């Protein structure tokens, strides 16, 4: 048994949410300890090297976070954060075409204008940052506040900046309903709905049209129209946030799995490590708060345990479904780079990037919403192995970073590494043939994925493929305990999972039924995964309200934030209790 330690705040889990929370709190001059069970922090923002010299992105790669206040508040540029410069000109014919079963189809100025209006690009000045922050980087309103068309944060921003757009329908319809009003072509609408479905709030759910549109808009740098990704991928981002936390004094302990959240008289007072932890099975005490940044089931059902929770809340937490679709990520190491096949030959010189001219990326096939619905049914309804013919199965290839020679996908002497190609499939837990079914037909599935990708690319034949990595749902789960949803909501696929209802009202604002215990993981609280630093930023409002942290003048709250009655306002201009 090692010697006990004591900090102001103990955080369980060194993924992006745990580490960004540590950075915020350490910068606010609290002593903070992060406990991570693996040898390395980063959660799903990892890069792996399965063969020496061959690095791949098995999970996260795209940055859905350009408007995050954390870049500015935590000054991540000081800690090495850099963006990559996507060389693709967003206005050329090759960039304004969607891949369909018969080849490229261009989208139109009307598509762009309609999308631009909904994304706040045509305000004077443009207000995209304010709009996206309002949708994701703002804590849900306190329970005593009735949610109306007037006080939903993004509705407030539309009303202030472009009142002619504001209408109650923005909150009622589906993304398809709104795009039918504002945009023109079916392939554009289908591509955007699929991108939304893979990212979070899906294109066919009622009541989340604007979050669905905005979760796609998050991927675009609005001042350039180019795709947003950090140098070194999300692992590069994670290094910056990790360095920031450590530079402000946070202590990070790897190989230190939490075994139990210690609770005294109804209050969380620390964490007990497992006996085999690198520093031994000692207690890590917390003066002010314990923050769990690992999944909601483990946090409450194992680390807290039933003796400290009301049976009603246990039932609700058990009912939180962490699994809907699973994103299968394929990466190929090939002898010769892939090439677009004959159907896509139109841009045979220009839709490639980098010295090796690697295909740039995109969504396939975007013909019509019928294809989208067939894909949704295949994954979310039938819950079997994929039933669609390979040429009709939807997937996307993340934009290639091969233009950056220091990136994984840059030139490699023994072959070429493709950008991740991702496809949504039934998650193991809901598979009608049982949760191990996918493992049983793993090889068949690998061949199916290659057939699907061959609908667009030449070069996926046995002679050219050195290795094909693809993660099944189980692979993803075992590698990252939090990343079990495959969407940012990390939760059930339906509209009642967002904002103040996400995933259950009791947890949406990061507080928990145990005093002094907060939950800051993608499987709980608004907005879930993908929006880097959103949970930590939103949680800061709550920790300030509870008197746990008092950040200096660098802090600013979300403009639409409403303080809870009887608490300290997180708005420094309204310091006293409201
Ligand atoms: C296939 C895939 C692709 C994705 N693509 C993108 C993308 O392109 N862009 C994007 O922004 N996001 C993407 N995401 C989502 C993103 O990676 C997650 O939203 C993010 O990693 C969630 O962070 P987190 O800190 O909440 O959880 P996690 O990243 O899961 O971190 C939780 C951490 O807690 C640790 N832990 C668990 N239990 C314990 C314990 N008992 N004791 C100590 N430590 C513990 C885990 O080891 C882990 O490090 C993707 C996810 C998947 C699965």
Nearest to 65, CA basis, from 561, 560, 530: 530
φ, ψ of residue 205 in degrees (nearest 5): -85, 140
Give residue 475 CA to ligand 1 midpoint distance, Å.
Answer: 13
For residues 19 and 41, give the distance between their C-alpha atoms in angstroms, rounded to a whole number: 9
Give residue 96 CA to ligand 1 midpoint distance, Å.
Answer: 32
Q: Is the pLDDT of residue 296 over 90?
A: no
Give residue 483 CA to ligand 1 midpoint distance, Å.
Answer: 5
For residues 440 and 65, give the distance between their C-alpha atoms in angstroms, rounded to a whole number: 37
Q: Give the Å distances, CA to CA, from 456 to 388, 459, 524, 551.
A: 16, 10, 37, 51
Of 250-254, 327-331, 475-479, 486-490, the poorest mean pLDDT is in 486-490
Band (pLDDT 50/70/90 cuts) for residue 86 is confident
Token couple for 289: 């708060």
Q: Note the Cα 100 to chain centre separation in Å.
A: 27
What's the alpha-carbon Rg for the chain, to the nearest Å? 23
Q: What is the pLDDT of residues 521-545, one digit of tens each?
A: 888 888 877 789 999 999 999 999 9
Task: Please name the residue whose Cα sits nearest to atom 21 of ligand 1.
Answer: 44
For residues 244 and 72, give the distance between their C-alpha atoms in angstroms, rounded to a whole number: 12
Helix axes 153-161, 128-136, angle to 10 degrees: 160
For residues 372 and 378, give the distance between their C-alpha atoms in angstroms, rounded to a whole number: 10
Task: Please name the residue whose Cα sits nearest to atom 49 of ligand 1.
Answer: 43
For residues 552 and 461, give the distance between their C-alpha atoms in angstroms, rounded to a whole number: 58
Pick the atom of ligand 1 nearest to 471's CA: 1
Give residue 482 CA to ligand 1 midpoint distance, Å.
Answer: 5
Which of 145-149, 198-202, 309-313, 349-353: highest mean pLDDT? 309-313
Give residue 294 CA to ligand 1 midpoint distance, Å.
Answer: 8
Task: Please name the residue whose Cα sits nearest to atom 13 of ligand 1.
Answer: 60
Is 391 strand, coil or helix? helix
Q: Give the Å distances, CA to CA, from 517 to 123, 286, 296.
A: 41, 10, 12
Q: Is the pLDDT of residue 475 over 60?
A: yes
For residues 35 and 270, give the distance between their C-alpha atoms in angstroms, rounded to a whole number: 12
Under a CB-based contact definition with an 8 Å cutoff, are residues 360 and 352 in contact?
A: yes
For residues 53 and 93, give the distance between their C-alpha atoms in angstroms, rounded to a whole number: 36
Residue 484 pLDDT: 40
Residues with CB under 6 A from ligand 1: 12-18, 35-38, 43-45, 59-62, 64, 234, 257-258, 293-294, 298, 327, 329, 476, 480-483, 486, 488, 521-522, 529-530, 532
Q: Which of 71, 300, 399, 529 to mutate to test ligand 1, by most ligand atoms within 8 A of the CB atom?
A: 529
Q: Give the Å distances, CA to CA, from 90 to 107, 126, 407, 571.
A: 12, 18, 22, 39
Pick the atom of ligand 1 nearest to 259's CA: 41
Give residue 16 CA to ligand 1 midpoint distance, Å.
Answer: 7
Residue 322 pLDDT: 62
For residues 414 and 412, give the distance between their C-alpha atoms in angstroms, rounded to a whole number: 6
Task: Please name the residue whose Cα sits nearest to atom 19 of ligand 1.
Answer: 529
Q: What is the rounded average pLDDT of the residues 134-139?
A: 95
Task: Please name the residue whose Cα sits nearest to atom 3 of ligand 1.
Answer: 59
For residues 551 and 562, give the distance between their C-alpha atoms in angstroms, rounded to a whole number: 18
Residue 527 pLDDT: 87
SS3 content of the chain, % helix, strand, coil (to 5): 35, 20, 50
Residue 575 pLDDT: 66
Q: Which of 21, 38, 60, 257 to mutate to test ligand 1, by most ligand atoms within 8 A of the CB atom?
A: 60
For residues 484 and 513, give the distance between their C-alpha atoms in angstroms, rounded to a whole number: 24
Residue 286 pLDDT: 98
Give residue 409 CA to ligand 1 midpoint distance, Å.
Answer: 22
Q: Which of 39, 242, 480, 518 to mutate to test ligand 1, by most ligand atoms within 8 A of the CB atom?
A: 480
**Which residue ranges form the domains of the chain, and what is each CATH number?**
5-49+235-320+494-574 (3.50.50.60), 97-227 (no CATH), 325-479 (no CATH)
Q: What is the rounded average pLDDT of the residues 29-39?
A: 96
Pick the atom of ligand 1 nearest to 528's CA: 19
């Amino acid at each position: 048994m090692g010697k006990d330690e004591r900090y102001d705040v103990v955080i369980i889990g060194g993924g992006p949410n745990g580490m960004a929370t540590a950075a915020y709190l350490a910068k606010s001059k609290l002593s903070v300890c992060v406990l991570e069970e693996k040898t390395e922090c980063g959660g799903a923002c990892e890069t792996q090297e399965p063969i020496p010299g061959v690095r791949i992105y098995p999970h996260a790669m795209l940055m859905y976070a350009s408007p995050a206040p954390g870049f500015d508040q935590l000054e991540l540029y000081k800690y090495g954060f850099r963006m990559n410069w996507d060389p693709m000109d967003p206005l050329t014919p090759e960039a304004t075409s969607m891949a369909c079963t018969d080849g490229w189809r261009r989208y139109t100025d009307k598509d762009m204008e309609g999308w631009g209006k909904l994304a706040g690009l045509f305000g004077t000045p443009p207000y995209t940052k304010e709009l996206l922050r309002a949708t994701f980087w703002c804590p849900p309103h306190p329970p005593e506040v009735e949610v109306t068309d007037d006080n939903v944060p993004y509705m407030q921003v539309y009303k202030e900046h472009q009142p002619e757009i504001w209408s109650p329908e923005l909150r009622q319809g589906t993304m398809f309903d709104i795009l039918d009003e504002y945009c023109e072509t079916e392939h554009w609408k289908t591509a955007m709905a699929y991108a939304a479905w893979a990212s979070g709030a899906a294109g066919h759910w009622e009541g989340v049209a604007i979050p669905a549109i905005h979760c796609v808009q998050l991927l675009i740098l609005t001042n350039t129209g180019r795709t947003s990704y950090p140098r070194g991928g999300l692992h590069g981002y994670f290094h910056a946030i990790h360095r920031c936390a450590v530079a402000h004094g946070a202590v990070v302990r790897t190989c230190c799995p939490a075994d139990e959240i210690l609770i005294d008289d109804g209050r969380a007072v620390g964490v007990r490590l497992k006996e085999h932890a690198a520093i031994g099975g000692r207690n890590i005490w917390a003066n002010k708060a314990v923050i769990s940044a690992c999944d909601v089931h483990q946090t409450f059902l194992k680390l807290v345990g039933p003796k400290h929770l009301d049976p009603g809340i246990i039932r609700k937490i058990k009912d939180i479904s962490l699994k809907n679709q699973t994103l299968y990520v394929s990466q190929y190491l090939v002898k010769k780079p892939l090439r677009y096949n004959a159907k896509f030959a139109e841009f045979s010189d220009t839709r490639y990037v980098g010295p090796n001219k690697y295909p740039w990326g995109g969504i396939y096939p975007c013909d019509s919403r019928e294809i989208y619905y067939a894909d949704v049914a295949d994954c979310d309804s039938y819950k079997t192995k994929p039933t669609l013919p390979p040429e009709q199965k939807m997937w996307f290839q993340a934009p290639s970073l091969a233009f950056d020679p220091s990136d994984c996908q840059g030139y490699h002497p023994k072959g070429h590494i493709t950008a991740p190609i991702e496809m949504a499939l039934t998650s193991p837990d809901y598979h009608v043939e049982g949760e191990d079914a996918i493992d049983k037909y793993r090889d068949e599935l690998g061949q199916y994925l290659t057939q699907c990708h061959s609908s667009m690319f030449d070069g996926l034949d046995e002679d050219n493929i050195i290795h094909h990595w693809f993660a099944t749902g189980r692979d993803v789960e075992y590698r990252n305990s939090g990343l079990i949803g495959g969407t940012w909501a990390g939760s059930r696929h339906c509209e009642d999972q967002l904002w103040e209802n996400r995933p259950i009202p009791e947890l949406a604002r990061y507080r928990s039924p145990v005093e002094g215990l907060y939950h800051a993981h993608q499987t709980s609280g608004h907005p879930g995964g993908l929006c880097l630093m959103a949970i930590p930023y939103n949680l800061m409002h709550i920790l300030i309200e509870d008197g746990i942290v008092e950040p200096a003048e660098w802090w600013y709250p979300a403009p639409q934030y409403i303080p809870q009655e009887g608490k300290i306002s997180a708005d420094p201009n309204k310091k006293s209790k409201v």
